[in-house]
Chains A and B, each alone.
Chain A
Amino acid sequence: MTARNPQTLMALPAEENFDFLFKIVLVGDCCTGKTSILQRFKTGNYVEKHGNTIGVDFSMKTIEIESKQVKVANNVGPNPINVAVINSFFWEQLQIWDTAGQERFRTITQSYYRANNGVIIVYDITKRSTFANLQKWIEEVRRYTASNVLIILIGNKCDLEAEREVDFEEARQMCQYIPEILFVMETSAKENTNVEDAFRCLATELKRQHDVSNVQELNEQTVQLGQGKPLKSCSSSCNLT
C-alpha cells in the first residue's frame, strides 16, 4: 500500500524523505480525549470508545507546510533593492506521542518529555477540574522540557456545548498570563473541528522557530539504536577486522 496524503491524494514522500522532523507530546488529565485527537489527526477517523490507551503510544504523520520567506536581494544597478516573497513547501514529519495512560495517577515518566519540540496540553471543556489542573501540567512541562519548547492549549469536546463548564474567554485570559503558551483553540475530535488546524498551526510555528534559531542541534550527534549510520558518512569509524 503506498501511503497517500488524504487531502491531495499525492503519494507521500517515501519514509525519511522529509525536510523536518518534530517531536510533539500530548499531555493533560485523564479522559480529556488526547488519544481521540491523535486518532482523528492521524487517520481522519473517530473512535467513540477508548479505554485507557493500550498498545499505541505514538503516531507519525507527514504534512506539507507552506512557508513564506521574504528574500531581500541587494542588487547593484538601477533597482537597488529587490524584494521577493518566495512561497516554498516543506514536508514536515510530526512524531506525536501519547501518554500511554500514565497520567492516570500523575506518574508520567520524565523521559516522555525529553527532546521534544512542541507540547499540546489538552483539557476538557465539560470538566472544570481538567482546566483547574492546567497549572500543574504547565509546571511539569516547564520542569522537564527545554526552554524553547512551544506549547499550545486545546479545549477538547467543544461539540458538547450544553455541558460546557469552561468558557473560551476564560482560557484565553489565562493564556495571557502564561507567555509560553502560543495559542489556545477549542476542538472536537468527534466532529473534526479544528483538530487538523491545531496541529498545522503548531507545525508552521515549529518550522518558523527552526528557521530563526539556526542553532546547531545537539540532536544531530546523538544515536538512535537500530539506525546505524552508513560507514561512508562517518569516516572515522570502521571495523578493525
Chain B
Amino acid sequence: MSDELPEQFDLVVIGTGFPESCIAAAASRIGKTVLHIDPNDYYGDVWSSFNLEALNQLLEQPSPSLLNASYTWHDAATETNWTREALLAKSRRFSLDLCPRIAYSNGELVKLLIKSNICRYAEFRALDHVCMLYNDELVSVPCSRSDVFNTKTLSIVEKRLLMKFLTACADNGEDKCNEDTLAFRGRTFQEYLEAQKVTPKIASCVLQAIAMCNANTSFEVGMQRTQRFLGSLGRYGNTPFLFPMYGCGELPQCFCRLCAVYGGIYCLKRSVDNICQATDSQELLLSSAGKTLRATHVVSAPGYLPGMVCELQPHISRGLFIASSALGSEELNKGGGGVNLLRLLADEGKREAVLLQLSHYSGTCPEGLFIFHLTTPAVSNDPAADLAVFTSQIFKAPAPQILYSAYFTLTTPTNTALSPVKSVYCTAAPAYELDYDAAIENAHQIFSQLYTDAEFLPRAPDPEEIVVEGEDPSALNENSLPEDLRAQLQEMDITE
C-alpha cells in the first residue's frame, strides 16, 4: 500500500457537492473504481457549511459560483456581550450553510438515506415550528392533530374547518371520480381553497405554509404539495420537516463516506487541468497536478471542467444573519430557541422567500445565538435589494438583535452544461427548492446514463452482516473461552 495515486479509474468525479457525491457513492457502491477530487480544501463545494471565519474569507474572495458577496458587523450598536471578538472566538462553533435546506420526513432525501443505509452517518433535528405571518404577526401553523387541538391561533370553528379541509386533501385522489375536485382541474389551488369556504386565516395557513403556493399555483400542484406535507407528518417530530444536525454541509460528506467505504479514493485541493479523448481507446485522459489519469467517465460540478467556458447567471439570492435573539414569541422558541421555518410572500404572492431560523439545538451556532437563513430566487445582481421586501416584513419591532449580516448570490450556468468531450457529464447547480428532490433527480439521471440498469444506491449492509474473509463469526475460538471452561475442555481432551 503506498500513497501513490492509481492511474486508472472507472469514474473520476470533480467537485464534492451534493449531486457529485451522490453519483460517486452510487458508482462506488456497485463496484466501480472512483476517484473523487475537489479543487477546494474542504468537502461540499457550494453545498458546504462554513465556520464564521471561513465564511468571511469565502465572501472576501468571490468565485464564479458565488457572486455579489458582502458581510457587515452590527456589533457596535448592541447591548449584548456578543461583540465581533466574542463571535469570532467561537467561530468554530458555527456551521453556516450557503445552501440551507430542510427535508420532508417522508421525502426523496429521507427515503434515499434510509434505502441506502447512509442514514447511519447523519443525525437530524426535527423542526419545531412551521410559521406564517398573519396580520404582521408571526404565528405557528398547527401541524398535528394535537397541535390543531391546542393552538390558540385558531377559533374552534376554524379548527374544525381546517381538520375537515386537510382530511379531504389527504383523501383526494383515492376516489378518482370525486366530482368535488374534478371541477378544479386546470384551475388554481387558491380557487379550490376559496370554494371550500374556509376563513382567511385558514386560507393563509394552507397557502403560505402547508401547500406552499402562490396565487398562480395550479390545483394539481397545490394538492400534491399538501399531500406531501401531510404524508410527512407524525414520523419524527412535531412538524413534517428535518434539518441535518451541524448543517447541510454534512450531507454530501455522508455520501462521500459511503463512497470511501466501498473503495473510492479522495483527494482535496486537486483540480484537473485538461481532459481529452485518448487516441488508442474510448477512455478519457485527464491531466491533474502533473499526472495523467485514465478514466472511462468523468462527472464534474459546473465550473470545474477545464476548457469549458460557461456563462453564469444569478440564480439564488441569499441573506445570512446572526442574531442574539430569536424571531417571534416565547411560545415559538421554547427551551432557548426553536428551529423554525417561515415562508414569506411579497409582491401579491408573485415572489417568495424561505426563512430558516436555527438555534443551538441544530448544532450550527453557540447557545444564545440564532442564525437566520433567507433564500429567494434571484431577480437582480443585488441580493440585499432582492431580499429587502422580505427583511422589512420580519426585522421590524420587536426585531431580533442582528449582530452580523451577509449577502451573496449563487449562480447557475445559462446553457444546460453541454460538455465538449463525450462521456463527460456536468451536474446542475443548486436549484431553488426546499428539499433535495431536484438534486437527487439530477444525480440519479446522470448515474443512469453512466450505468444503465444498475441500481442507484442499494442498501449498504450493516457491519454485522459482513463476514470478513477468513473469519467465521459463529465459531467461538478456544482462546476466547473463560479460564474455567477452557480447563474443563482440556480435562475432557485428556480423559478421552
* Binding between chains A and B: yes
Query: Smallest distance from the beta carbon of B28 to chain A beta carbons, Å?
Result: 10
Flag the segment in B301-309, B384-392, B445-453, B460-468 that touches A. Answer: B460-468
CB nearest neighbor in A for B95: A110
Known: A60-B463, A240-B166. A7 touches B482 (CB 8 A): yes
In the complex the two chains form, is A9's CB within 8 Å of B233's CB? Answer: no
In the complex the two chains form, is B245's CB within 8 Å of A114's CB? Answer: yes
Residues of B within 8 A of A238 (CB): 144-146, 234
Q: Is A204 an interface residue (CB 8 A)?
A: no
| Alpha-carbon separation in the docked complex, A45 to B468 (Å) | 11
Please encode chain B, from 400 to 416, with 1 for each CB lying within 8 Å of some chain A CB and 0 for all others: 00000000000000000
Q: Is B266 an interface residue (CB 8 A)?
A: yes
Known: A107-B266, A111-B253. A222 touches B1 (CB 8 A): no
Number of interface residues of B (CB under 8 A): 69
Known: A1-B474, A110-B43, A240-B166. A225 touches B110 (CB 8 A): yes
In the complex the two chains form, is A58's CB within 8 Å of B463's CB? Answer: yes
| Alpha-carbon separation in the docked complex, A8 to B481 (Å) | 7
Residues of B within 8 A of A51 (CB): 1
Q: When the two chains form the complex, which single residue of B114, B268, B471 contacts A225, counting CB atoms closer than 8 Å?
A: B114
In the complex the two chains form, is A44's CB within 8 Å of B468's CB? Answer: no
| Alpha-carbon separation in the docked complex, A54 to B31 (Å) | 11
Taking each of A39, A53, A219, A239, which has the highest tally of chain B beta carbons within 10 Å of its own beta carbon? Answer: A239
| Alpha-carbon separation in the docked complex, A241 to B110 (Å) | 21
In the complex the two chains form, is A55's CB within 8 Å of B125's CB? Answer: no
In the complex the two chains form, is B480's CB within 8 Å of A7's CB? Answer: yes
Taking each of B242, B463, B470, which has the highest tally of chain A beta carbons within 10 Å of its own beta carbon? Answer: B463
Query: Smallest distance from the beta carbon of B90 to chain A beta carbons, Å?
Result: 12
In the complex the two chains form, is B147's CB within 8 Å of A236's CB? Answer: yes
Q: Is B82 an interface residue (CB 8 A)?
A: no
In the complex the two chains form, is B482's CB within 8 Å of A8's CB? Answer: yes
Q: Is A78 an interface residue (CB 8 A)?
A: no
| Alpha-carbon separation in the docked complex, A235 to B43 (Å) | 39
| Alpha-carbon separation in the docked complex, A39 to B479 (Å) | 15
Residues of B within 8 A of A172 (CB): none
Please encode chain A, from 40 to 62, with 1 for each CB lying within 8 Å of some chain B CB and 0 for all others: 00011101000111111111100
In the complex the two chains form, is A56's CB within 8 Å of B261's CB? Answer: yes
| Alpha-carbon separation in the docked complex, A112 to B233 (Å) | 30
Q: Is B276 an interface residue (CB 8 A)?
A: no
In the complex the two chains form, is B147's CB within 8 Å of A57's CB? Answer: no
Q: When the two chains form the complex, which single residue of B123, B469, B480 contacts A224, counting CB atoms closer than 8 Å?
A: B123
In the complex the two chains form, is B234's CB within 8 Å of A30's CB? Answer: no
Q: Is B363 an interface residue (CB 8 A)?
A: yes
Residues of B within 8 A of A111 (CB): 121-122, 246, 250, 253-254, 257
Q: Is A31 an interface residue (CB 8 A)?
A: yes
Please encode chain B, from 103 to 118, with 1 for each CB lying within 8 Å of some chain A CB and 0 for all others: 0000000100110000
Q: Is B167 an interface residue (CB 8 A)?
A: yes
In the complex the two chains form, is B266's CB within 8 Å of A102's CB? Answer: yes
| Alpha-carbon separation in the docked complex, A107 to B143 (Å) | 42
In the complex the two chains form, is B256's CB within 8 Å of A229's CB? Answer: no
Known: A57-B261, A234-B237. A221 touches B125 (CB 8 A): yes
Q: Is B124 an interface residue (CB 8 A)?
A: yes
Q: When the two chains form the complex, which single residue of B124, B233, B476 contacts A223, counting CB atoms closer than 8 Å?
A: B124
B residues 230-280 near A (Cβ < 8 Å) are 230, 233-238, 242, 245-246, 250, 253-254, 256-257, 260-263, 265-268
Residues of A within 8 A of B43 (CB): 107, 109-110
| Alpha-carbon separation in the docked complex, A105 to B120 (Å) | 24
Q: When the two chains form the complex, which single residue of A43, A56, A218, A225 contacts B124, counting CB atoms closer than 8 Å?
A: A225
A-B contact pairs, 27 of them (CB 8 A): A39-B468, A44-B477, A47-B469, A51-B1, A54-B261, A57-B257, A57-B261, A101-B263, A102-B257, A107-B43, A109-B257, A110-B253, A111-B254, A114-B250, A115-B123, A115-B245, A222-B125, A223-B123, A223-B125, A224-B123, A225-B110, A225-B236, A229-B236, A236-B147, A237-B146, A237-B236, A241-B230
Q: Which 8 A-B pairs have the closest CB atoms?
A: A225-B119, A6-B480, A109-B253, A239-B234, A111-B253, A107-B266, A100-B260, A223-B124
